Amino acid sequence: MNSTLQTIVEIRPMQSSDLDHIIRIEREIFLFPWSLGNFADSIKAGYVCQVLQQTNTLIGYGIMMMSPEEAHVLTLGIAANWQGKGWGKKLLQHLIEYAKSAHAKSVFLDVRESNYSAARLYKKMGFRHIATRKGYYPAMCGREDALVMQLML
């Protein structure tokens, strides 16, 4: 295990009081960030909203929507200066375990075609590219395709 991962971290449910912090990370790491309202609505809707916290520092978050047989990861983010240290993988693994415990048969997510680092993480975790949504995301120059990825549980 990477020595960084031996640091004590907690994965816990997201609270409304986390949103100011989350939105600062969100704006730092996404060109087209979610609004604070998108996060607040996700909590209100009862989605699986989790944060990754090291001591008092919130370093990442993930949101997953559950339906009877499927789970959909809606967003996953790690603060810029914490990226590349295994935290994204840890948080995604936590969401996958949650989906398994809820008896989901598969986990789906969408990723921008240009987001190679995220797609690489998902492939390493066993996700497979199963479809493409043409022009799904806004982009700096027009629109960008989304790769739909699935992990069979």
Ligand X SMILES: CC(C)(COP(=O)(O)OP(=O)(O)OC[C@H]1O[C@@H](n2cnc3c(N)ncnc32)[C@H](O)[C@@H]1OP(=O)(O)O)[C@@H](O)C(=O)NCCC(=O)NCCS
The contact set with ligand X (CB under 6 A) reads: 29-30, 76-78, 83-89, 111, 115, 117-118, 120-121, 124
Nearer to ligand X, 40 or 86 (CB): 86
Nearer to ligand X, 6 or 68 (CB): 6
Nearer to ligand X, 29 or 36 (CB): 29
Cα angle value 141/32/106 (rounded, 5°): 110
Yes or no: say if 89 and 73 are a contact pair by the CB < 8 Å rule: no
Helices (H), the chain: 19-29, 36-44, 87-101, 116-124
Residue nearest to ligand X (CB): 88
Measured over the CA atoms of residue 43, residue 8, residue 5 and residue 22, the dihedral's sign is positive
- Here the contacts of 125-133 (C-beta below 8 Å, separation 24 or greater) are 125/89, 125/92, 125/93, 125/96, 125/151, 126/151, 126/152, 127/151
